[in-house]
Amino acid sequence: MRRFDDSSSDSTLGSHLRAVCQRQAGLAALGCDGEQRSYGWLAARAAYMADRLTEHGVRSGDRVGVCLERSAELVVMLLACIRSGVCFVPLEPTLPLPRLRSMARRVNVQLVVMGAPLRDAFPMPVLGLRPGLGNGDNWPEQNKQLAVCLLPAEVTGRGDLQLSHQELAGYLQRITQRAQACAGTRWLAASALTDEAALLEILGPLWVGGYIEITPTVLHNRPGELAALLQRRQDINTLQGDVSFWERLLKTGWRGHCGFQALCAGAELGRRRLERLWLPPARSS
């Protein structure tokens, strides 16, 4: 198993997110399908689902599969796992069910969370979503070395990637500082949960008290539709992707707007190629 080498944050993951949720309680934390949710709602909803995990016998250190479509509830479950000291394992619902079963069994998932539980969908218990809010202020402290996330080899293509609370906190702190992210950051999240960059899309804005707009993962591979969305939603000011993602998007003719921040992971040569694409064509004299 690969380890994620980042322990640069002095803040604990839970205490930092709790403080942000309390400070920004009345402000919008995320939007999805035309509906917005506040930080206060997010904290209270995560507390409720954390209690549900406990009721179903999940304990600190256990692994929980999260098999949810991209929605506010996906963010809720990630925070619920962080609160509970549980290691969440993203199970992308668009993948074939036999593959998801095999993946969950191999990494020893104890429970799977689904929006609408399917009978015998997994060889372990399945927990469905249920309405409810809990005490968002009660956020237990967890051991920094406790695993918080496992990205399986079947989706990363590079072996299992496990992150501890300390490592994830350090990663979020380092990258959001580098990106100069702040409470004014409005981040579009469209990547599938297959690597640490996708975790940054969801948890990075929350780390700094910003805002996430959640879209279907299919949009990440439809540059024309994504460009049209970005043109309509000029309040969105941050988006991340690799070199090939940005090449596809720029070839639609979209060029961003004032204050827009494009985060790109890739080789220097690829970034230089993107810079040439981004520049307007030279005028002939």
At 212 the three-state DSSP class reads strand
**Nearest alpha carbon to residue 190 among 79, 80, 29, 32:** 32
Number of structural domains, the chain? 1
Q: How confident is the model at residue 271 (pLDDT cuts 50, 70, 90)?
A: low
DSSP 13: H
In-domain check, residue 260? no
- Token pair listed for 97: 């069910």
Q: What confidence score (pLDDT) does residue 10 get?
A: 57
169-212 tens-digit pLDDT = 999 999 999 889 999 999 999 888 887 888 889 999 999 999 99
| Per-residue pLDDT at 218 | 86
Q: How far is residue 155 CA from its own chain's centroid?
A: 15
- With a cut of 80, say whether residue 134 has pLDDT above it: yes
For residue 126, list its beta bridge partners: 112
- Cα–Cα distance measured from residue 95 to residue 199, given in angstroms and rounded to the nearest whole number: 19
Q: Helical H runs in 96-213?
A: 97-106, 153-156, 165-178, 196-207
pLDDT at 4: 41
Confidence at residue 138, expressed as pLDDT on a 0 to 100 scale = 82
Residues contacting 256, CB < 8 A, separation 6+: 230, 262, 278
User: How much is the mean pLDDT over the chain?
Assistant: 88
The reported pLDDT for the residue numbered 277 is 54
| Residue 47: predicted pLDDT | 97
- Both tokens of residue 135? 């005490």
pLDDT at 116: 85
Is position 199 within any domain? no
Query: DSSP states of 42-102 as a string?
Result: HHHHHHHHHHHHHHTT--TT-EEEEE--SSHHHHHHHHHHHHHT-EEEE--TTS-HHHHHH
Per-residue pLDDT, 57:
96
Q: What is the pTM of this model?
A: 0.90
Tell me the torsion sign for CA atoms 178, 182, 186, 191.
positive
- Average pLDDT of span 240-263: 89
pLDDT digits (tens, 9 = 90+) for 32-82: 988 999 999 999 999 999 999 999 999 999 999 999 998 999 999 999 999
**Is residue 16 over pLDDT 70?**
yes
Q: What is the mean pLDDT of residues 19-26?
A: 96
Q: Is position 60 within any domain?
A: yes
Question: What's the token pair of residue 107?
Answer: 């990494």
Answer whether residue 200 is part of any domain.
no
Q: Report, in this order, helix, strand and coil percent for the chain, each rounded to 5.
A: 40, 20, 40
State the average pLDDT over residues 133-140: 90
Distances (CA, A) of 39 to 18, 48, 260: 10, 14, 24
pLDDT beyond 50 at 3: no
Residue 109 lies in a domain: yes
- Is 56 a domain residue? yes
Strand partners, 162: 3, 150
Whether pLDDT at 280 is above 50:
no
Beta-sheet pairing, 111-114 with 87-90: unpaired
**β-bridge pairing 211-214 and 28-32:** parallel
251 in any annotated domain: no
Structural domain harbouring 129: 2-167
Which residues, in sequence order, are bridge partners of residue 128? 114
Residue 176 Cα to chain centre, angstroms = 14
Residue 144 lies in a domain: yes
Per-residue pLDDT at 103? 95
Q: Report the C-alpha gap between 97 and 50 in whole angstroms.
A: 25
Which among 13, 5, 66 has a CA at the least distance from the CA of 206? 13
- CATH at 26: 3.40.50.980
